[in-house]
Structure 1
Amino acid sequence: MIDLLGAGESGFGQFNALTITATLGMVTATLALWTIVRPKRFPPGPRGLPIVGSIYSINDSPEVVFGEWAKKYGDIFGFKAGERWIVVLNRQALIKEAVLKQSVGFADRPDFLSLDIFSDGFKDIAFSPYSETWKLHRKLAHSALRHFATGKPLQDLISSVYPKVEKKLAMTEGQPIDPKVLITLLMYNVLAQMCFGRSYELEDPNVAQWMNTNDEINEHLGLGLAADFFSWAKYLPTNGPWMLKELQERLWGFLRLQVDETREHYDPENINNVYSLLLKAQEDARKEGENVDKLTDTHIFQTIADIFTAGILTTVETLYWAMALLATYPEIQAKIRVEIDDVIGRDRLPTINDRGKLPYTEASLYEVLRYSSIVPNALPHATTRDTEFGGYHIPKGTTVIINTYSMHYDPQEWDQPDKFLPEHFMDGSGTVRDHPPSFLPFGAGRRGCLGEAVAKADLFLIFTWFMQNYTFSKVPGKESEEILKMIPQTASGRLLLSYEIMINKRD
Structure 2
Amino acid sequence: MIDLLGGAESSFGQLNALTITATLGVVTATLALWSIMRPKGFPPGPRGLPIVGSIFSMNDSPEVIFDKWSKKYGDIFGVKIGERWMVVLNGQALIKEAVIKQGVDFADRPDFYSMKIFTEGFKDIAFSPYSETWKLHRKLAHTALRHFATGKPLQDLISSVYPKIEKYLAEKEGKPVDPKLLLTLLMYNVLTQMCFGQSKELEDPTIVAWKDMNDDINEGVGLGLAADFFSWARYVPTSGPKMIKDTTDKLLGYLRSMVDESRKQYDPENINDFYSLLLKAQDDARKEGENVDKMTDTHIFQTISDIFGAGIQTTVETLYWALALLATYPEIQAKVKTEVNDVIGRNRLPTINDRGKLPYTEATLYEVMRYSSIAPTAVPRATTRDTKLGGYSIPKGTMVMMNTYSMHFDPQEWDQPDKFLPDHFLDTSGTVRDHPPSFLPFGAGRRGCLGEAVAKADLFLIFTWFMQNYTFSRVPGKESEDILKMIPQTAAGRLLRPYEVMIQKHDQ
TM surpasses 0.5: yes
CA distance in 1, matches of 2:199, 2:320: 23
Q: Name 1:435's counterpart in structure 2.
A: 435
Within 5 Å, which residues of 2 pair with 1:71-150? 71-150=71-150
CA distance in 2, matches of 1:264, 1:15: 76
> Which range is displaced more, 220-229 or 368-377?
220-229
Amino acid paired to 2:472: F
How far has the Cα of 1:5 moved from its partner? 3.2
1:391-449 deviations in whole A, cap 9, x for unaligned? 01000000001111010011110011000000000000000100000000000000000
For 1:480-499, list aligned pairs within 5 A.
480-499=480-499
Deviates more, 1:73-82 or 1:13-22: 13-22
Distance in 1 (alpha carbons) for counterparts of 2:500 and 2:243:
30
In the TM superposition, what is the alpha-carbon distance from 1:491 to its structure 2 partner?
2.0
How far 1:492 sits from its partner (Å)? 1.1
Query: 1:271 maps to which residue?
Result: 271
Q: What is the CA deviation profile of residues 42-72 of structure 1, one whole-angstrom value per residue up to 9, with x for unaligned ones?
A: 0000000000001111111100000000000
2:407 — aligned with what? 407
Identical amino acids, percent of aligned pairs: 80
Alpha-carbon distance, 1:26 to partner:
1.3
Q: CA deviation at 1:8?
A: 2.8
Tell me how far apart the structure 2 counterparts of residues 63 and 254 of structure 1 sit (CA, whole Å). Answer: 33
Match of 2:89, SS?
Answer: strand
User: How many Å apart are 1:223 and its aligned residue?
Assistant: 1.3
Distance of 2:463 and 2:326 partners within structure 1: 11
Q: Which residue of 2 aligns with 1:379?
A: 379
Alignment of 1:92-241 (within 5 A): 92-241=92-241
What's the offset of the Cα at 1:290?
0.8
Distance 2:491 2:471 in 1: 32
Query: Do the aligned partners of 2:141 and 2:307 also contact (CA within 8 Å) in 1?
Result: yes
User: TM-score, normalising length from structure 1?
Assistant: 0.99
Number of residue pairs aligned between Structure 1 and Structure 2: 507
- Superposed, 1:20-39 pairs within 5 Å as 20-39=20-39
For residues 240 and 60 of structure 1, what CA distance do their matches in structure 2 show? Answer: 19
RMSD over aligned CA atoms reads: 0.8
In 1, distance between residues paired with 2:491 and 2:282? 33
Corresponding residue for residue 467 of structure 1: 467
What is the alpha-carbon distance in structure 2 between the residues aligned to residue 398 and residue 436 of structure 1? Answer: 30
Q: CA deviation at 1:9?
A: 2.6
1:336 Cα deviation (Å)? Answer: 0.3
Deviation by residue 1:315-370 (Cα, 9 ceiling, x = unmatched):
00000000000000000000001100110011110000000000000000000000
Letter in 2 for 1:353: N
What's the secondary structure of 1:400's corresponding residue?
strand
1:170 and 1:497 mapped to 2: Cα distance?
Answer: 25
**SS of equivalent residue, structure 1 residue 402:** strand
1:321 has 2:321 as partner: yes
Whole-angstrom distance in 2 between the partners of 1:341 and 1:219: 38
Tell me the SS of whatever aligns to 2:473.
strand
1:284 alignment counterpart? 284
Deviation at 1:308? Answer: 0.2
How far is the alpha carbon of 1:34 from its aligned partner?
Answer: 0.6
Structure 1: how far apart are the matches of 2:57 and 2:240? 21
1:13 aligns with 2:13: yes
Distance (Å, rounded) in 2 between the aligned partners of 1:462 and 1:419: 24
Question: How far has the Cα of 1:253 moved from its partner?
Answer: 1.0
Task: Find the counterpart in structure 2 of residue 57 from structure 1.
Answer: 57
Contact 2:219 2:492 in 1 (8 A): no
- Are residue 336 (structure 1) and residue 321 (structure 2) matched? no
1:13 CA displacement: 2.0
User: 2:355 matched to 1:358?
Assistant: no
Letter in 2 for 1:492: A
2:19 partner amino acid: T
Q: CA deviation at 1:477?
A: 1.0
State the Cα deviation string for residues 13-54 of structure 1 (Å, max 9, x = none): 222222221121111111111100000000000000000001
The 5-angstrom pairing of residues 240-255 of structure 1 reads 240-255=240-255
The answer to whether the Cα contact below 8 Å between 2:62 and 2:491 also exists between their aligned partners in 1 is no
Distance 2:30 2:131 in 1: 38
Query: Which stretch shifts more, 13-22 or 305-314?
Result: 13-22
Any unmatched runs of 5+ in structure 2? none
Q: Post-superposition shift, 1:242? A: 2.1
- One-letter code aligned to 2:334: A
Contact conserved, 2:408 with 2:438, CA < 8 A, in 1? yes
Give the letter aligned to residue 114 of structure 2: S
Q: Match of 2:46, as an amino acid? A: P
TM-score of the superposition, structure 2-length normalised? 0.99
AA paired with 2:153?
P
Distance 2:292 2:10 in 1: 71
Distance (Å, rounded) in 1 between the aligned partners of 2:199 and 2:122: 30
Partner Cα distance (1:393, 1:481) in 2: 48
In structure 2, distance between residues paired with 1:491 and 1:82? 16
In structure 2, how many angstroms separate the alpha carbons of the residues matched to 1:260 and 1:225? 32
Partner residue in 2 for 1:369? 369
> 1:68 is aligned with what amino acid?
K
- Secondary structure of the structure 1 residue equivalent to 2:427: coil
- The whole-number CA distance in structure 1 between the counterparts of 2:491 and 2:60 is 12
- Which digits, 9 at most, give the CA deviation of each residue in 1:165-218, with x for residues without a partner? 000000111111101000000000000000001111111101111111111111
The secondary structure found in structure 2 opposite 1:401 is strand
> Higher mean Cα deviation, 5-14 or 486-495?
5-14
- How far did residue 11 of structure 1 move? 2.3
Counterpart residue number, 2:449:
449
CA deviations 1:142-169 (Å, max 9, x no partner) are: 0100100000000000000000000000
Tell me which amino acid in the other structure corresponds to 2:289.
G
Alpha-carbon distance in 1 for matches of 2:131, 2:90: 27
SS in 2 for 1:177: coil
CA contact (8 A) 2:61 2:491 kept: no
Deviation string 1:73-110 (CA, Å, 9 cap, x unpaired) is 01000011111100000010000000000000000011
Deviation string, structure 1 residues 205-245 (Cα, Å, up to 9, x no partner): 01111111111111221111111111111111213212211
Greater shift, 9-18 or 350-359, is seen at 9-18
The one-letter code matched in structure 2 to 1:483 is I
